[in-house]
Structure 1
Amino acid sequence: MSRGSHRPHVIVPRRTPHRFYGHGIPGVQPEQLTGRLIVIEGADGSGRSTQIRLLVDWLESCGHSTITVGLKRSALVSEELERAQQGNILSHTTLSLFYATDFADQLENQILPGLRAGQMVLADRYIYTLMARDLVRGMDEAWLRNLYGMAVVPDIVFYLQVAPEELVQRTFAKYAALDYWESGMDLGLSRDMFDSFLKYQSLMAAQFQRLQKIYGFHVIDGHRPIDVINRELRRKITALLAGKPIR
């Protein structure tokens, strides 16, 4: 948004009580969570981080206090998780529990306090990426749902959908190399990392399609220009905050 443009007046006339997907966190009263949890999902290269940065600027210009969270940002285990991935020494179950610990720590120490304080919490990926990754690796879906029963149900979830062929081009343009895990090399899909990346991201997209039907994501076409996508996100969030239907 340019400095000279009119800033929208974002209002919150009423709040929908929060709830957990399952067992939640002991002692947490959902009615005390007065903030909003906004989730942006999508593969690396889909534009998640850029959109979150723009949304933070916009929300704060409208007078909202914001905090951001994301994968592998826990003060408790993020460094250990990074080292474990570099060594590729963990089983799929152990790695899944590692990520769940990272999420649980952020949930308890950042997400829930932010929601209690009435803040806008923006998540650069949430439990859906973790579940999709594990489902692709053959983990039991019922076990995963129970594991992430501690999670707060977001107020809105956006999934930036970008084709694997476009993702690989964006990744090369930014990093000049493909990531081992984002290419699914641990699955033995192909000896060629480029080919493995395309196959893995296709599998991930299929899982997100399944999860979207269960959790009701708003699918956003991530192939469009950044400003066009951001306008759509702002429009939907404005409707959310005003208690209006989201289209």
Structure 2
Amino acid sequence: MIIVFEGIHGCGKTTLLNKLRSWIKLNLKTPFITTKWNSYPNLKEFGNELKDKDLLDPLESSLLYGLDFNLRYKNIILPTLEKGGLVLCDRYIYTAYVRDGLRNISTTLLNEMYGHAKEPDIIFFLKIDPETAINRLEKTIEKRSNYILGLDLNLSSNKIENFKKFLYLQDKYYNKIIVENKKNFYVINSLDDENHQFDTVLKIFKNHFEDSQL
């Protein structure tokens, strides 16, 4: 099974993923791995250095993310699935379709890079309004790259306002993807109590996991 957590920055997807990871480790004997967007060894550091220096245009960034995903897919995700294991993904191909799509990277190219990827068994979309997300991230905004903040899109002359507008655009794009793929998506309200969020995630996971064992 592939279990994916998606959502804009500040929605809490990593927190929920880690909670599910801990539960699986304590309660199941099934092998599992976790994999994070833009995390392939060495390539991540190389790409981040280029982004920090603003040396990548949108197409180059898209290709770099595509390479990162495909290396993780081939060397980490597929081998785990072939062994009957679980793969917990902190973002999946939808992150690319949202962020690159907003930068006018063609869907045709994105399909070429990601169209072979297995459809996840569960996609948790953590829904949060961008204003609240900005408040959660306020202390870390200055540490984030121009690419993450969407400054290359020139949405505003103010960095925080630009980031906010970028998050609104991402949220709108995610909603489009949810409508088109609603069979696999489960919307989690990020404003709910954290324990309640996890109870919902765990219930959905257990139902799918039990069905997969039949």
- TM-score using structure 1 length: 0.80
Question: Which 10-residue stretch deviates more, 91-100 or 60-69?
Answer: 60-69
Question: Which 10-residue stretch deviates more, 58-67 or 196-205?
Answer: 58-67
What are the residue-to-residue correspondences of 1:40-55 with 2, within 5 Å?
Answer: 40-55=5-20
**Do 1:76 and 1:102's aligned partners in 2 also have CA atoms closer than 8 Å?**
no
Deviation at 1:239, TM superposition (A): 1.0
Q: Distance in 1 between matches of 2:17 and 2:92?
A: 13
Q: Secondary structure at the match of 1:153?
A: coil
Q: Distance in 1 between matches of 2:164 and 2:158?
A: 10
- Alignment match, 2:4: 39
Please report the RMSD computed on the Cα atoms of aligned residues, expressed in angstroms. 1.5
* Closer, same or farther: CA 203–176 of 1 in aligned 2, 3 Å: closer
Q: Distance in 1 between matches of 2:158 and 2:42?
A: 35
Q: Distance in 2 between matches of 1:104 and 1:202?
A: 28
- Alignment match, 1:152: 118
Q: Distance in 1 between matches of 2:148 and 2:193?
A: 24
Alpha-carbon deviations, 1:174-227, whole Å to 9, x = none?
x26362333211110011011111110000011101111222221111111211
Q: Distance in 2 between matches of 1:168 and 1:178?
A: 14
Q: Distance in 1 between matches of 2:4 and 2:196?
A: 18
Where structure 1 has 5 or more consecutive residues not aligned to the other structure, the ranges are: 1-35
Deviation at 1:150, TM superposition (A): 2.3
1:126 pairs, out of 74, 85, 92, with: 92
Q: Distance in 2 between matches of 1:178 and 1:188?
A: 19
Bigger Rg, which one: 1
1:221 pairs, out of 164, 189, 194, with: 189
The number of residue pairs the alignment matches comes to 208
**Do 1:168 and 1:198's aligned partners in 2 also have CA atoms closer than 8 Å?**
yes
What are the residue-to-residue correspondences of 1:48-197 with 2, within 5 Å?
Answer: 48-63=13-28, 64-75=30-41, 77-173=43-139, 175=140, 177=142, 179=144, 180-197=146-163
Whose helix proportion is higher, 1 or 2? 2
Q: Distance in 2 between matches of 1:76 and 1:120?
A: 24
Identical counterparts, % of pairs: 28
Where structure 2 has 5 or more consecutive residues not aligned to the other structure, the ranges are: none
Alpha-carbon deviations, 1:70-120, whole Å to 9, x = none?
112112511111111101111211110000000000001110011111111
Q: Distance in 1 between matches of 2:186 and 2:2?
A: 14
* Closer, same or farther: CA 190–147 of 1 in aligned 2, 3 Å: same
Runs (4+) of structure 1 exceeding 6 A deviation are none
